[in-house]
Amino acid sequence: MAARILLVRHGQTEWSMTGQHTGRTDMPLLDEGRRMAKLLGERLHRAPWNGLPGVEVRTSPLSRAAETCALAGFDGARGWDALMEWDYGDYEGLTPEQIRERAGEDWFIWRDGVTGGETLAEVGERADEVVDWARSADRDVLVFAHGHILRVLGARWLGYDPSFAARLKLDPASLSILGWAYGAPAVERWNDTGHLD
């Protein structure tokens, strides 16, 4: 059983700044996103993490996550499709306001999902694959990925339905840690951006 799984959301991109749904579009990091990734890396290479010796690292193959990983000082991470962001289908590149113009004013992604892309249940299945992998490891694991898949991963780690992810806010370049308390899955740290202050 893994001692813990550390989650990093990629740094800032143009679409994360504007609130556009960025699923499979391979948006690059902005200069600010690169700065954020480096600050995160500096933090993870100081005490108490000390570079996380022996950690197994995986990243979404999309460049915004893979570059965040490399800039944070974790070269050689394996790309893994299970860590790709939610496939938003017809809603790719749209803001929530633009989607509500199409889908109705009460549209809520965690309840209503998307058209032409993945269902929330399918995103949950990918998150379960990551949780199963993390729990089978005998050391810490570190993943670099995207806001919605990481939120679903957090929900599934805790044993909740993927829709619980609606209650788990996650900012760019944030650090979250999932572990154990009294033998049960627990949140040790969530949406920590102290390295950016």
Q: How confident is residue 6, by pLDDT bands cut at 50, 70 and 90?
A: very high
- What is the residue range of 83's domain? 5-192
User: What whole-number percentage of the chain has pLDDT above 70?
Assistant: 99
Confirm whether 85 is a catalytic residue: yes
Q: Cα dist. 60→6, 13, 17, 98, 104 in Å?
A: 14, 15, 20, 27, 32
Look up the CATH number of the domain holding residue 74: 3.40.50.1240
**Predicted local distance difference test score (pLDDT) of residue 88:** 97
pTM above 0.85, yes or no: yes
Buried-exposed string 102-124: b where 16+ CB fall within 10 A, e elsewhere = ebeeebebbeebbeebbebeebb
Residue-wise pLDDT tens digits, 8-41: 999 999 999 999 999 999 999 999 999 999 999 9
The pLDDT of residue 137 is 78
**Mean pLDDT, residues 94-107 taken together:** 95
Whether residue 1 has pLDDT greater than 90: no
- Indicate the pairing of strand 175-181 with strand 184-192: antiparallel
- Model confidence pLDDT, tens digit, residues 131-155: 999 999 788 999 999 999 999 999 9
Give the pLDDT score at 2.
64
Is residue 92 among the annotated active site residues?
Answer: no
- pLDDT tens-digit profile of 76-85? 899 999 999 9
Phi-psi category of residue 171: left, alpha or beta, with phi > 0 → left and psi -120 to 50 → alpha: beta
- Residue 15 placed within a domain: yes
Average pLDDT, the chain: 96
* Residue 104 confidence (pLDDT): 92
Question: Is 111 part of any domain?
Answer: yes
The total number of structural domains that make up the chain: 1
Asked if residue 197 belongs to a domain, the reply is no
Q: What span, in angstroms and rounded, lies between the C-alpha atoms of 65 and 71? A: 10
Backbone angles phi, psi at 187, to 5 degrees: -95, 120
Report the distance separating Cα 157 and Cα 161, nearest Å.
10
- Which of 56, 85, 92, 118 is catalytic? The answer is 85
Quick one: pLDDT at residue 114?
97
Bond before 48 cis per omega within 30 degrees: yes
Determine which one of 10, 21, 146, 148 is catalytic. Answer: 10
